[in-house]
Amino acid sequence: MDLAFQQFGSHGEPIIIMHGLFGSARNWRGIAQKLSKNAVVYTVDLRNHGASPHVKQMPYSLMAEDIVHFMQQQNFQSAQVLGHSMGGKVAMQLALNYPERVNRLIVVDMAPVTYTHNFNDILTALSNIPMETISSRNDADEILKKSIDVLSLRQFLLQNLVAKESGGYAWRVNLDSIKSNMSNIMGFPKENKNVTYTNPTLFIGGGNSTYLAERYLAAVKTLFPSAQVDILKGVGHWPQVEAPKAFLSCLEPFLGVD
């Protein structure tokens, strides 16, 4: 699949950044600009997100193949790869399936495990917004706040709302596909249990988040035996947003772009 992307910088080793569920390439623009002084940084829209195509299937194996295809299109054989949340699982799958393609791996607040929760309440809330009749994002926000009381989360989700030329609004994310693939998204392929990725690996977690809790570190070390784990205190699931300086102080030395 041809993925939409943004490029920052023109020289140095390539870095590919992959966003999380309901996100897009634009979420990582600030970090990408910082890293682009000494690297060529690509932020991609994963399938069913941003400006990339909408399709029915989105297992991690195919999403990893999308990144390999992207590398082929850009004419480089390997890259440093960073993924956050769902994008972190894509990055891990890429490293396990195509280790020769990944020089260094960075996973942000995610582990190679199956999580028990899901996002069906968010999907329901988004699906209940009458897209053909709302006249502004404020209208959508007023409806959404009945189900989601956290303003920052609503603002993040509403970045996916786009106006149509014919009137009304549409979602950039493929809500139907995400809903039907939720068990895949929250899981991690079992066939990975017999493989490892041994190149330099960094896991960055938020101390207030449970996605990279201590109980998951055994699974991390099993598949990524060389993994370094840095937990940033006082931040949650989006350390790159909540504490960008601390995040970059972990990331830049590992990437060699500081």
Which domains are present in the chain?
Answer: 5-115+187-255 (3.40.50.1820), 120-172 (no CATH)
Helix axes 137-144 and 151-158, enclosed angle (nearest 10): 130
Closest CA to 257 of 67, 44, 82, 109: 82
Query: What pLDDT is recorded for position 258?
Result: 67
Is the distance from CB of 118 to CB of 53 less than 8 angstroms? Answer: no
Alpha-carbon distance of 81 to 7, in angstroms, equals: 14
State pTM to two decimals. 0.95
Catalytic annotation present for 139: no
Alpha-carbon distance of 179 to 175, in angstroms, equals: 6
Query: What pLDDT is recorded for position 139?
Result: 94
Strands 39-44 and 5-8: antiparallel
The neighbouring-strand residues paired with 150 are none
Catalytic annotation present for 166: no
Q: Which long-range contacts (CB under 8 A, 24 or more apart) does 206-209 make?
A: 206/109, 206/231, 206/232, 206/235, 206/236, 206/237, 206/238, 206/239, 206/242, 207/231, 207/232, 207/233, 207/234, 207/235, 208/234, 208/235, 208/236, 209/109, 209/235, 209/236, 209/237
Query: What pLDDT is recorded for position 191?
Result: 80
Alpha-carbon distance of 172 to 25, in angstroms, equals: 12
Closest CA to 182 of 121, 237, 124, 119: 119
Residues 6+ apart with CB under 8 A from 204: 106, 107, 108, 109, 230, 231, 232, 239, 247, 250, 251
φ, ψ of residue 221 in degrees (nearest 5): -70, -30
Which listed residue (85, 109, 141, 209) is catalytic? 85
Query: What pLDDT is recorded for position 39?
Result: 95
Residue 19 burial (CB count, 10 A)? 24
The structure tokens listed for 221 are 């070390």
Task: Give mean pLDDT in consecutive 10-residue pieces for the chain, a chain of 258 residues.
Answer: 96 96 96 95 98 97 98 97 98 97 98 92 93 90 93 94 87 96 94 88 97 96 97 96 96 88
Which listed residue (54, 176, 177, 230) is catalytic? 176
Residues 6+ apart with CB under 8 A from 143: 128, 129, 130, 134
DSSP string, 160-221: TEEE-TTSSEEESS-HHHHHHTHHHHHS--GGGGG----S-EEEEEETT-STT-GGGHHHHH
Q: What share of the chain is helix, strand, coil (3-state, %, to 5)?
A: 40, 20, 40
Residue with tokens 């490892």: 196
Catalytic annotation present for 49: no
